[in-house]
Chain A
């Protein structure tokens, strides 16, 4: 209070200003917290497994391991010609 007891003194003025700044900052920050970033989710359909051991894939494995895996892999079961 000022010397007359009615007006704000210098110290009271800055104290009041600081308090109002904290309240304003809190008001601005609260909506930002509410809108949290979300990771992109393309959905179950697009993330499902597409790989399958087709005859084509089995032929790839067989030919790439032809020196070593041919004894272990039965050509009849791999669908190769």
Chain B
């Protein structure tokens, strides 16, 4: 059984944020919520790195472990999803998640939160596939259409990989074998001289 995974090739990511925009547009994500974002380390310095982050669909998901109402479930594709009908917006999952994936819409004054929202790996939610209810709550269901998450498909530098974990690991491994990694990668010394190493 294929296990769905994301993998961001930090040697390729140019922080264009196309993945963020594609995700928001595809799922009509509300204001104030980004299911995906780009994190840059050492911004503006030689050797800066960017990585596109969203829910990583953990095998042993800490969000599911701390949820007081048990609204999380894992599909046969190893995608971690949740039910917004059951979520109470308590925020525990946000504190448990090492990637900061869970997001909450602001629904009123005094910091009151709505139902949690996060990356669904473009595979909808517990409602029937392609239903209006599913789209309104979770966005489109590209996986059921035989496609992969749009963030990865949109990536212009092919930094963000998605799909069967074994397949994208093989793609990444072949890249590293061919071009190297970090300061050993092709073009690094031309760009940053030999004094900058990772």
Q: Is the CB of B170 within 8 A of A69?
A: yes
Is the interface on chain B under 10, 10 to 19, 20 to 34, or 35 or more residues? 35 or more
Interface string of A35-51 (1 = CB under 8 A from B): 00111111000111111
- Cβ–Cβ contact A42 & B83, under 8 A: yes
Residues in A with CB closer than 8 Å to B136 are none
Give the chain B neighbours of A61 by CB distance below 8 A.
Answer: 163, 167-168, 171
4 additional contacts, CB 8 Å, given A38-B70, A57-B147, A64-B168? A40-B86, A46-B75, A49-B1, A63-B158
Report the contact-size class of chain A (Cβ under 8 Å from the partner): 20 to 34
Partner of A51, one of B77, B129, B175: B77
- Which residue of A41, A50, A63 contacts B75 across the interface (Cβ within 8 Å)? A50
Judging by beta carbons under 8 Å apart, are A60 and B152 in contact? yes
**B126 engages A42 (CB within 8 Å):** yes
Which B residues have a C-beta under 8 Å from some C-beta of A? 1-2, 4, 69-77, 83, 86, 123, 125-127, 129, 141, 143-144, 146-148, 152-153, 158, 161-164, 167-168, 170-171, 174-175, 177-178
Q: Mark A48-73, 1 if CB is under 8 A from B, else 0.
A: 11111110110011011101110000
Closest residue on chain A to residue B86 by CB atoms: A40
| Pairwise interchain contact B147-A54, C-beta atoms closer than 8 A | yes
Interface of chain A, main secondary structure: loop
In the complex formed, the residue of A with least CB distance to B175 is A68
Q: What residues of A have a CB within 8 angstroms of the CB of B4 in the complex?
A: 51
The 9 closest A-B pairs by CB, nearest first: A54-B146, A68-B174, A42-B126, A49-B76, A65-B171, A39-B70, A50-B143, A50-B144, A47-B75
Q: A40-B72, A65-B174, A68-B174 are in contact. Are A60 and B153 (CB under 8 A)?
A: yes
Q: Which residues of the other chain, A, contact B161 by a CB distance below 8 angstroms?
A: 64
Q: Could you say which residues of chain B place their CB within 8 Å of the CB of A46?
A: 75, 125-127
Which A residues lie within 8 Å of B158 (CB)?
A: 63-64
Residues of chain B contacted by A41 (CB below 8 angstroms): 73
Identity of the chain B residue whose Cβ is nearest the Cβ of A42 in the assembled complex: B126
Residues of the A chain whose Cβ atoms lie less than 8 Å from the Cβ of B125: 46
The contact sample of 19 A-B pairs, CB cut-off 8 A, is A40-B71, A42-B73, A42-B83, A46-B75, A49-B76, A50-B143, A51-B4, A51-B143, A51-B164, A56-B148, A57-B163, A60-B152, A60-B153, A61-B163, A61-B167, A65-B170, A65-B175, A67-B175, A67-B178
